[in-house]
Structure 1
């Protein structure tokens, strides 16, 4: 959508005057949202977009949280150790890490609607394949398809938030960003418990089948509510958009990540060639992107945007901790502590319930640096408590660990999301948001590799303690990067000033 400059408040208009203003802003006459039959004001966020935005953005988190209680039953069904079922995690996040910036760039070029619909349909296909999978290999393939299918929801949501901010003139839609983060936290609350119930009722295959109704709902919402218009292109045609795709850059980026993951999952001397391929592909990718006219990831822009690069680095570190806990701690609760899948899911409830409470309470506050400092401190405190866990630890101690981890879970994800919103180039909001999740999923891949390394045969207590020491080191590095980044304080001050000047997102 064309950028709309900020305007001072305007007097009330007649119906004809409102229609003229709406058309002047590049909106079609039927574009305004409706609530109870009344049209949403032209300068208010279109609430019809919220449902598809939220559903699309949670497709990946719901599959992440449900699989955490499914790994042990799946391993038992196929005779696979934790190092084998770890591929179910890595396959999803490898596909997503590659797909997020690719799909984000496509959204920047073509608009969110068609990419959202294609991705949601792939999610349903993955659900069918996973439900019928005869072996672990097929199930891993379903998770790859699922990873690509869930790529569109989050960058599409961030693109829509930015385009609505332009249209309405409200540059800090804190309420919408908070709603998006809280929705993800809420679905994470439901995920482990829902997974335990589904396993109890229909076995682990039911945890894959849940994607089918979610995909149907997403397709219907996308068809009914997402705008049809694509962003403007130089010649107004599809040829310019297709020419804007940096296919060699995308291929080199994928080669770099695939070779890196293969080495991280099984690091040994015989696989020496994988780091070589990673370095070579990374060097070729850098060379290509610095010279490409329309780069897939514009390294020249990123190189000049140090605050955004630091945000991506913090995202990687934060998600290493989050996902290592989600999968490593849950597997230990089932195998090392002896809980059932449903009980292990219930133990996770304090984590996500606390995260929702923290996100809801602090979401509208513009400070970013303070949230990240408290989040890093919370990770260190929770990690220290994990060192006290033993095979006969009381349930209250497990609940205390998940409660403490809920504080950084609620602070870090929202603060990182808001940081990207303020730091990224507006014209590349889709790909920048995709990159945020790419770095988060790289963190998930590192966490999966760490889990496979410390739990080679079963999730026992010594392995959990080794994992905890690793997480404490990552959390300390996260804290150092946050304390050293003074630019975060400026973002908070600017956001607070914008919040004073802007009207509410919706009326």
Structure 2
């Protein structure tokens, strides 16, 4: 479960130190290499809730095996990519392939709790969160080391052995489940809302394409987004088995607030991961390996914080401390410059590790407690979707602040944007009274 769920975050973060050498290899500016980030998240933002719904209907094993096999194919395509266009296509395929691991894991955890009659497995949820949050921090360090050994293509090749390991373990260990049937004995194929999925994909693609390049000449993109959103709402409210049950979701305000916090939190996290890492190389003059190593304090701090607080149900407290930590860390970025000492870079990375270790864990546990158990796969997928929306916003912000190169002036512009998102996250957490009860009462499963 853990190995499959980390395929996406490791590919999300490992690319951060590869952007500069890839740009040099293909003669591409940061605004073009930003598509390597956006392409993966565009595919995954759409794919996560779709695959999550299929997991809810057909069980986790089938989707897990298909997804991890596709990840290996995407890794091979990236290794052999002759140009930036093919590499972007490989990242799209990679985004689709890594969709299944996380919703499959959340589904398995909930179904096992229901089967045994035990309370919510805080230890397992903590292990899953720690793995997912910290692997995102290991990514830049691992990427820097791989680039030093085998060049940037080695950061794509790592998916091949990971995919093989997932396939072997998945076939041996994941429980087989029969294709479920409705009460009348009919297969649940009719419960796959293909029209709703297509409208959802259309809405997200047009929205994200506009966010990546917000220009007045692209007016048709927000119009398409609004039209698709309207059609999706009408469709889902009338469908017997909707892809996204808007009636239930609209009545679950705590879950909607959790998704909003996820969006803001991941904007900050990924803006640091991509934007600051690029600045370390072009604005500060570090090598890719050095830039990856400079984030080690973030990795170590995140692991310690997640491990120390994982079994505690204080979701609101974790979100509040994480919010304050994000505000402080973003403010510290404004002090950085081309001549900043290495110890200051390490200190900023360490401060960022505190919210990194708290917010991801708290958001995941919030969804586990707030979502409809019958749609946990879909709800977990939507949590990832909002995280990927945040990542795409972060990538777009980085491209806007670094039109030609990642200099210090661009870093400070990006830091102000991150600070605004961090303040909004903290304000939303303070105003959410429902958080006082989330996780406080043990689930009856």
Shorter-chain TM-score: which interval?
A: over 0.9
Please point out which of 463, 481, 484 is paired with 2:410: 463
Please point out which of 202, 218, 226 is paired with 2:174: 226
Report what 1:321 is aligned to. Answer: 268
Q: Is 1:143 aligned to 2:100, yes or no?
A: no
Q: Residues 164-243 of structure 1 correspond to what in structure 2 (within 5 A)?
A: 164-230=112-178, 232-235=180-183, 240-243=187-190
Report what 1:93 is aligned to. Answer: 41
Q: Deviations over 1:456-494 (max 9, x none)?
A: 111111111011101111011111111111111112421
Please point out which of 379, 383, 386 is paired with 2:330: 383
Report what 1:301 is aligned to. Answer: 248
Q: Is 1:268 aligned to 2:219, yes or no?
A: no
Query: Distance between the aligned counterparts of 1:434 and 1:233, measured in 2?
Result: 23
Query: Distance between the aligned counterparts of 1:77 and 1:392, measured in 2?
Result: 27
With the length of structure 1 as denominator, give the TM-score of the two structures. Answer: 0.86
Q: Is 1:77 aligned to 2:25, yes or no?
A: yes
Query: Distance between the aligned counterparts of 1:241 and 1:91, measured in 2?
Result: 32
Query: Distance between the aligned counterparts of 1:299 and 1:60, measured in 2?
Result: 27
Size of the aligned set, in residue pairs, is 445
Q: Deviations over 1:397-435 (max 9, x none)?
A: 111111111100000000000000000001011111111
Q: 2:369·2:439 contact (CA, 8 Å) conserved in 1?
A: no
Report what 1:482 is aligned to. Answer: 429
Q: 1:104·1:432 contact (CA, 8 Å) conserved in 2?
A: yes
Report what 1:132 is aligned to. Answer: 80
Report what 2:206 is aligned to. Answer: 259
**Secondary structure in 1 aligned to 2:240?**
coil
**Secondary structure in 2 aligned to 1:68?**
helix
With the length of structure 2 as denominator, give the TM-score of the two structures. Answer: 0.98
Report what 1:67 is aligned to. Answer: 15
Gaps of 5+ in 1: 1-52, 503-507
Q: 1:73·1:204 contact (CA, 8 Å) conserved in 2?
A: yes
Please point out which of 368, 377, 387 is paired with 2:315: 368
Please point out which of 41, 44, 50 is paired with 1:102: 50
Query: Distance between the aligned counterparts of 1:253 and 1:492, measured in 2?
Result: 30
Q: Residues 278-427 of structure 1 correspond to what in structure 2 (within 5 A)?
A: 278-427=225-374
Query: Distance between the aligned counterparts of 1:233 and 1:428, measured in 2?
Result: 16
Task: Point out the more displaced range, 445-454 or 222-231.
Answer: 222-231
Query: Distance between the aligned counterparts of 1:145 and 1:176, measured in 2?
Result: 29
Report what 1:247 is aligned to. Answer: 194
Q: Cα offset for 1:235? A: 4.2
Query: Distance between the aligned counterparts of 2:179 and 2:435, measured in 1?
Result: 30
Report what 1:491 is aligned to. Answer: 438
Report what 1:505 is aligned to. Answer: none
- Distance change in 2, residues 1:236/1:188 (3 Å): farther
Q: Cα offset for 1:187? A: 2.3
Q: 1:307·1:487 contact (CA, 8 Å) conserved in 2?
A: yes
Please point out which of 110, 119, 132 is paired with 1:162: 110
Q: Deviations over 1:40-60 (max 9, x none)?
A: xxxxxxxxxxxxx00011000
Gaps of 5+ in 2: none
Q: Cα offset for 1:283? A: 1.1
Moved over 2 A (4+): 185-190, 230-233
Q: 1:96·1:441 contact (CA, 8 Å) conserved in 2?
A: yes
Report what 1:119 is aligned to. Answer: 67
**Secondary structure in 2 aligned to 1:400?**
helix
Query: Distance between the aligned counterparts of 1:473 and 1:105, measured in 2?
Result: 34
Report what 1:48 is aligned to. Answer: none
Query: Distance between the aligned counterparts of 2:436 and 2:93, measured in 1?
Result: 40
Q: Deviations over 1:126-162 (max 9, x none)?
A: 0010000011110000000000000000000000000
Q: Deviations over 1:29-84 (max 9, x none)?
A: xxxxxxxxxxxxxxxxxxxxxxxx00011000111121010000001011111111
Query: Distance between the aligned counterparts of 2:174 and 2:8, measured in 1?
Result: 20
